[in-house]
Structure 1
Amino acid sequence: MRPITFQTKVYELLEDYPQLEDILTEISPAFAKLKNPILRRTIARVTTIQQAAAVAGIEAGEVVRRLRIAAGLSDSDAGVNNTTGAALESEQPDWFLPEKVIVRYDAVKTLDAGDVPMAEILRLSNSLQEGQIFEFSSPFLPTPILDMLSAKGFKIWSKREGAIFFNRVTKS
């Protein structure tokens, strides 16, 4: 069995400790989406506990601690770093101008239909020319996708408006 850390993939966690699925749902109702087999096979394979905690809006150290206790492991040394590259900013960055948004995508509808929007979000982001902006909405901060885009050199600005996150992506 693998240790439970910030960097543990959710899929691996549930593979090693299937009994923790109910604990995740207790921690946050956002984790109930893991019952969807499509999301479990796709998103859960690339999402770390740290990223999942950010999506759920809860502190990653607390998630790791509770999972370790439920698995019968030590709750010390939960992980190394509790930050993610996909930051939620309140200040509008200089590069964001509404008129530069060339395409908008509603990931909320895709998720509500039980589908995974990741491929479409990545495709639309990769089609951008320098200075153009792609905006997509989601019901949570999509940390794994934003981290992937950030690692590819995209600039990202996410802002929560009510229950929806508006995520803006541009090429650097």
Structure 2
Amino acid sequence: MLINANTRLSVILKERPDALEAIVSISPKFQKLRNPILRKIMASRTTIQMAASIGNCRVEDFYLQLSAFGFQSVNNDNTNEPAESRPLYMQSIGNYEIIDFDVRPILEQGNDPLKSIMNKIIEIQSTQVLRIINSFRPTPLMQLLSDKGFESYAERIADDVFHIYFHQAEKANAPIFKEYEESVESWDKVWDEFQNNLVEIDVRNLEMPGPMEAILSALQTLEKGKALYVYHKRVPLYLLPELAEMSFRVSINKLSESDIRLLIYK
């Protein structure tokens, strides 16, 4: 099978599931791929080039590891980021007005920048590109806005600095989220059903994207008939679409602005 920098990890693993350990061995940051739930989400949205950026390694490292599994690479002589892996608008980025938004101060204060990002996105014109400056690659956000008609591209500037570019690829309605109350079950009803069958997890002290990863990891071993009871400090708006896609249901109890309880179940 031919692969290149744009080949998604899910395609590779579908062809050769036994290549998982070879990929994990490339960088310690790929250990998460051993978690089936995280792997399902991450691998389907991550190309070799993206993974190389996340793992602080080279595209060629993937080619070398995967060659033992019968994969043949194209553009193998170019270990840098290939221009064709960038969206068309990124190849002519100088023609656009770049609107910068640094969300790191918001995160450092323990707040969720999602609503602020949405407000910025709404204002973006076809001649503009929104550049989010973040401390990690916000894959769920990128997928969320992709569903709303926005192209995205992430560049790793340093170990803890990412620039994520968003451009409206097609005419789309403003990506306003419905209030979460509209998409979750009644707390009292769900609590009565599961209060004696709970698995508890506290993610309040984890830095993003740690809470999402911890929750998805816990759901991997959640037994049938039980609910995951999560102590959180914010409503995880990024995570709700992912949970719905995996057929999980969610109930939310907002005790205060910084004290949120979740019940996640099937």
Same fold (TM > 0.5): yes
CA distance 1:141–1:66, shift in 2 (3 Å) = farther
Is residue 166 of structure 2 the alignment partner of residue 167 of structure 1?
A: no
- Specify the SS of the correspondent of 2:162: strand
Contact 2:133/2:164 (8 A) holds in 1: yes
Is residue 6 of structure 2 the alignment partner of residue 5 of structure 1?
A: no
**Correspondences of 1:9-20 after superposition (within 5 Å):** 9-20=8-19
Pick from 75, 87, 93 the counterpart of residue 80 of structure 1.
75
The one-letter amino acid of 2:3's match is: T
Give % identity: 19
**Correspondences of 1:28-67 after superposition (within 5 Å):** 28-67=27-66
Cα displacement (A) at 1:105: 6.5
**TM-score normalized by the length of structure 2:** 0.39
Contact 1:132/1:170 (8 A) holds in 2: yes
User: What is the Cα-based RMSD across aligned positions, in Å?
Assistant: 4.2
Determine the C-alpha separation between the residues in 2 that align with 1:157 and 1:27.
20
Determine the C-alpha separation between the residues in 2 that align with 1:136 and 1:37.
29
Q: Could you say which structure has the larger radius of gyration?
A: 2
Determine the C-alpha separation between the residues in 1 that align with 2:36 and 2:104.
24
Aligned to 2:103: 104
The one-letter amino acid of 1:85's match is: R
The one-letter amino acid of 1:22's match is: E
Cα displacement (A) at 1:25: 1.5
Is residue 132 of structure 2 the alignment partner of residue 135 of structure 1?
A: yes
Contact 1:49/1:64 (8 A) holds in 2: no
CA distance 1:95–1:35, shift in 2 (3 Å) = same
CA distance 1:22–1:164, shift in 2 (3 Å) = same
Moved over 4 A (4+): 93-97, 131-134, 151-154, 156-159
The one-letter amino acid of 1:165's match is: V
**Correspondences of 1:116-155 after superposition (within 5 Å):** 124=118, 126-130=121-125, 133=130, 135-139=132-136, 145=142, 152=150
Determine the C-alpha separation between the residues in 2 that align with 1:12 and 1:39.
16
For structure 1, the residue ranges without an aligned partner over 5 or more in a row are 87-92, 110-119
Determine the C-alpha separation between the residues in 1 that align with 2:167 and 2:45.
23
Aligned to 1:89: none
Aligned residues: 139
Contact 2:10/2:44 (8 A) holds in 1: yes
CA distance 1:37–1:53, shift in 2 (3 Å) = same
- Specify the SS of the correspondent of 1:167: strand
**TM-score normalized by the length of structure 1:** 0.56
Determine the C-alpha separation between the residues in 2 that align with 1:85 and 1:55.
16
For structure 2, the residue ranges without an aligned partner over 5 or more in a row are 88-93, 109-113, 169-266
Contact 1:128/1:170 (8 A) holds in 2: no
Determine the C-alpha separation between the residues in 2 that align with 1:5 and 1:15.
13
Contact 2:13/2:19 (8 A) holds in 1: yes
Aligned to 1:116: none
Structure with the largest fraction of strand: 2
Determine the C-alpha separation between the residues in 2 that align with 1:60 and 1:141.
21
